[in-house]
Structure 1
Amino acid sequence: MLAEMKGINEECGVFGIWGHEKAAELTYYGLHSMQHRGQEGAGVVASDGKQLKAHKGLGLVNDVFKQADFSEISGASAVGHVRYSTQGGKVFENVQPLVFKSQTEGMALAHNGNIMNAKYLRGELEGQGSILQTSSDTEVLAHLIKRTGLGINETSITEAINKITGAYAFVILTEDKMYAALDPSGIRPLSIGRLGDAYVVASETCAFDQIGATFEREVLPGELVTISDEGIASTRFAMRGRRKMCAMEYVYLSRPDSDVNEVNVHASRKRMGKELAKESPAEADMVIGVPDSSISAAIGYAEASGLPYEMGIIKNRYVGRTFIQPSQELREQGVKLKLAPVRGIVTGKRIVMIDDSIVRGTTSKRIVRMLKKAGAAEVHVRIASPLIQHPCYYGIDMSTHDELIAANHSIDEISEIIGANSVAYLSETGLETAIVKDKTIHQGICMACMTGNYPVKENSDQEAVYRG
């Protein structure tokens, strides 16, 4: 039952480019830089101004495009997607961008996030005669757009989006325009860049660096951006309050070289480590980090505590991320293949092991056991984020209370379960300080999975309730 219940959310990466003769190739490189956001499928859809041409498949970006002939998806605009999906399972039909064609026009749609009222909207659409071809919630938006009878434009997209509840970043490509939209709370990341005369949009700014583009600005919460040969235009489809960017983007999901909501990820993680050292010191000989997303926090903890930072764990670079594997069995096997202790460093030492989060506890337990088997005298686990005690409904694979170790056990029990000598977590105040310190009032973070305070909920009429 748990495996079935987990199958409702996804965490993905989207990319789009307008006005470049090598649009499809650049999209490939952009997706490659965001491979960490999804490992189950990838795709590119390009437009030459007359038709949409797609190449997509299951697997990593390199595997999907290994035999690709980019001349077959040529054009001056393209949209791409890397997918980690749980909804609908790992099937080709759900690999994005999804392409829809009618007698008059077509569109390709890429989506990062989760449509919370997708089941309700799907039932409503089917009741009106729509036949949906995939089990992805992304397809719902395409049908809502076409149902307006207004064609594909700012008006129809705005009308359709306003029926959706959830956290989302959309990129939509037609034969003659590209659209990008962000949910009214700004929970998911989406940025705009420039490459010469071309416009680029991406989930993470590391994609801009990959192709040599420069960052221009964030897509604002509740904003619909239209890009065409005439330039770029902005439409607001919802009122914007204080932004609630997903805290897990900083804690775990994003690459350290990305800037999310104009805050550098590495710098914020380093501050998390410093705050954690202030709150939860430990008597130890060294600090180590669990590669890769915990390294920045470990460096910060070491600096603030005065303990030396050491490389106590090495990572096999050719194994995917265990958190976003599609099954618990693969997660557990992935830990064995992925990490190894540096015995000459950890043997006989009291270690502070920094990790970014504990979700299910499986990975932490195996790492602690691995370090002690390698000879570590003590392992004190310090987590650079608060306890994750609540499901995420906004697009991350943490969908039930039952699978969250902190929702069902005390900190002392967690310490015993994972075999650590002690466990401590960063406070909610510490996390917020590390991320939004010295930033303007419109910037904030969503910590719903930690606090249970959800910025977006569904009311009885299936409409979005956005909380400032």
Structure 2
Amino acid sequence: MCGIIGIAGASDVAAALYDGLTVLQHRGQDAAGIATMDGHRLRLHKGNGLVKEVFDAPAMELLTGRVGIGHCRYPTAGSEGSDEAQPFYVNSPYGIALAHNGNLINTDALRRLVFEQDRRNVNTESDSEVLLNVFAHELQAQGELSPAAAIRAVQGVHRRCAGGYAVVCMVMGLGLVAFRDPNGIRPLVLGKREPPASVGAPSGAMPSAGTAIAPEGAPTGKGIAPEGAPTEAGGRTEWAVASESVALDVLGFVRERDVLPGEAVVIGDDGSLHTQVVAEARPSTPCIFEYVYFARPDSMIENISVHKARMRMGVTLGQKILRLRPDHDIDVVIPIPDTSRDAALEIANVLGVKYREGFVKNRYVGRTFIMPGQGERRRSVRRKLNTIPLEFRNRVVLLVDDSIVRGTTSQQIVQMARDAGARKVYLASAAPPVRYPNIYGIDMPSAEELVAHGRSEEEIEKLLGCDWLVYQDLADLEAAVAGPKFPGRQFDSSCFSGEYVTGVEPGYFERVQQLRSDDAKRKRRGA
């Protein structure tokens, strides 16, 4: 999982990209990068570490230009070296920089075709560099540089690439290009910021509309007329795309809408906007794990509040607990910070028991879910959390977590609760058992490393050491996220159900295990 952002502004955008990346830092703490376009010159700086560690004042001063993209990364497949930091860049055609969130599931076949058919070389193990070269080849084949040509190039990418992906890229001499996979698995949000009203300009003056771009042979889809170019009133509309709406909020952009599945968005260097859906119609299936864990609670994804979705998860899980144990002996509900707080509060309300904060979090330790190895995750739990013993002593405690993936963290936290004096420790997961790998950009590696894979809930309960374990039902989770406004909404819930919307070729999971397992990562690091 990664965070991406792109801005086409009226002045230098590097500082805004930096601020946007800090808000998206929860999506990746391994590496960060920014690329800007200054006329026909590309400015690029990237490296391993947090955003604040990668960029200093001299680096920021070099990143001039009013169009730019940014990326923060954590590793899924491939190596974890600095050569994997994004954005990636190719100089042909025109010069293109690209940043990507997600995972392609046909990378090996694409890599061969890129080399043998497209005559392009890929230097890293990253599927993002493969995707960049596919887009570059498709754009070169258009024989021109225009918004229409870029949109047709995205159409070619959708034909060739399979998986979950959200992309921002910068094409020298053109502007910003963004697109999203045809199933809409990975999130991407479009925002707009109007110029300040000029003296003497009519109140509320807006750019005039033009005509929508329809690439030749593209499926019929909703097009948006070019808009935002400079007007007589002065100034220009600024546009931004980002993985989460919160990045737009902090920069003063108004969230317009989510980029549609299979849609191409082109923002010209003059601020004009061109969009077109260029993929065959498929069911929209956004990743449900964004709502469970990854996204910030103050984000909106697919017009659904992450905060409200998590509250509804708590209501449905609380109702399940009451069905299973109407005469429960729970004294207190304690969240495992931070993501589970919304759900835990609602569970406490439904059960009619106290809600208490029982763990203090060290905010200078990263998210253990995205730590690079099991040993590092184990060490990090104790550094990350400390108990408040008076909230546990002689009580029957219900701990609430957003999900249980490997079980490493849960096992240690249950023991911490016992050590703090709890009489009994129950554990509730706001998500169902994670039994299958996620292949669309979340580091749920091989199935054998998932605590729920091949085990019953009773066996997991024993392994984690809790007195009772209760999971959310998948139907309840999907209904909770969809909410009353979107009943029956479909999601990518493959890590819970094992049903993959793109389909999976034979042998794929074996290859994923070789790349993503903790043992494979240790070998690549030489440990």
SS for the counterpart of 2:40 is: coil
Structure 2 residue aligned with 1:314: 360
Structure 2 residue aligned with 1:418: 464
> Once the 2 structures are TM-superposed, how far is the Cα of residue 130 of structure 1 from its aligned partner?
2.5
Cα RMSD, aligned residues only: 1.6
Q: Does 1:213 align with 2:253?
A: yes
| Partner Cα separation in structure 1 for residue 311 and residue 30 of structure 2 | 30
Code of the residue aligned with 2:158 in structure 1: it is I
SS for the counterpart of 1:405 is: coil
Q: Does 1:225 align with 2:265?
A: yes
| Partner Cα separation in structure 1 for residue 271 and residue 437 of structure 2 | 43
Structure 2 residue aligned with 1:183: 181
Structure 2 residue aligned with 1:6: none
1:231-380 equivalences under 5 Å are 231-281=272-322, 282-380=328-426
Deviations 1:125-183 (A, max 9, x none): 22234321121101112222333432562222321332000000011111221111111
SS for the counterpart of 2:355 is: coil
1:136 to 105, 126, 132: 126
Whether contact under 8 Å (2:2, 2:73) holds in the other structure is: yes
Code of the residue aligned with 1:171 in structure 2: it is V
2:94 to 95, 105, 116: 105
Q: Does 1:76 align with 2:117?
A: no
Q: 1:458 to 1:410 in 2, by over 3 A?
A: closer
Whether contact under 8 Å (1:273, 1:298) holds in the other structure is: yes
2:77 to 77, 87, 98: 87
> Once the 2 structures are TM-superposed, how far is the Cα of residue 439 of structure 1 from its aligned partner?
2.7
Segments of 4+ moved more than 6 angstroms: none
Structure 1 stretches of 5 or more lacking a match?
A: 1-10, 463-468
| Partner Cα separation in structure 1 for residue 504 and residue 58 of structure 2 | 42
Q: Does 1:173 align with 2:219?
A: no
| Partner Cα separation in structure 1 for residue 154 and residue 501 of structure 2 | 23
2:107 to 115, 118, 132: 118
Code of the residue aligned with 1:278 in structure 2: it is Q
| Partner Cα separation in structure 2 for residue 328 and residue 198 of structure 1 | 43
| Partner Cα separation in structure 2 for residue 188 and residue 240 of structure 1 | 16
Structure 1 residue aligned with 2:56: 66
| Partner Cα separation in structure 1 for residue 486 and residue 308 of structure 2 | 17
SS for the counterpart of 2:160 is: coil
SS for the counterpart of 1:453 is: coil
Code of the residue aligned with 2:344 in structure 1: it is A
| Partner Cα separation in structure 1 for residue 106 and residue 470 of structure 2 | 36
2:156 to 123, 144, 159: 159
| Partner Cα separation in structure 2 for residue 238 and residue 150 of structure 1 | 18
Structure 2 residue aligned with 1:55: 45
Deviations 1:66-116 (A, max 9, x none): 3443231111111000001132222121101111113x6111101000010
| Partner Cα separation in structure 1 for residue 457 and residue 486 of structure 2 | 34
Q: 1:251 to 1:211 in 2, by over 3 A?
A: same
Structure 1 residue aligned with 2:116: 127
**Identity %, equivalent residues:** 38
SS for the counterpart of 1:162 is: helix
Q: 1:355 to 1:195 in 2, by over 3 A?
A: same
Q: 1:290 to 1:68 in 2, by over 3 A?
A: farther
| Partner Cα separation in structure 2 for residue 303 and residue 353 of structure 1 | 15
Structure 2 stretches of 5 or more lacking a match?
A: 195-236, 323-327, 509-527
Deviations 1:376-419 (A, max 9, x none): 11111010011111111111111321011111221111111111
Q: 1:252 to 1:113 in 2, by over 3 A?
A: same
State the structure with bigger RCO (CA 8 A, min sep 6), 1 or 2.
1
Whether contact under 8 Å (1:184, 1:239) holds in the other structure is: yes
Code of the residue aligned with 1:154 in structure 2: it is I
| Partner Cα separation in structure 1 for residue 390 and residue 505 of structure 2 | 57
SS for the counterpart of 2:169 is: strand
| Partner Cα separation in structure 1 for residue 260 and residue 315 of structure 2 | 30
Name the larger-Rg structure: 2
2:191 to 187, 190, 193: 193
Code of the residue aligned with 1:446 in structure 2: it is D
Structure 2 residue aligned with 1:150: 142
| Partner Cα separation in structure 2 for residue 403 and residue 247 of structure 1 | 21
Number of residues of Structure 1 aligned to a counterpart in Structure 2: 450
Whether contact under 8 Å (2:154, 2:179) holds in the other structure is: no
Whether contact under 8 Å (2:158, 2:262) holds in the other structure is: no
| Partner Cα separation in structure 1 for residue 263 and residue 284 of structure 2 | 12
> Once the 2 structures are TM-superposed, how far is the Cα of residue 307 of structure 1 from its aligned partner?
0.9
Code of the residue aligned with 1:222 in structure 2: it is G
Code of the residue aligned with 1:409 in structure 2: it is R
Structure 1 residue aligned with 2:219: none
**What is the TM-score when the length of structure 1 is the normalising length?**
0.93
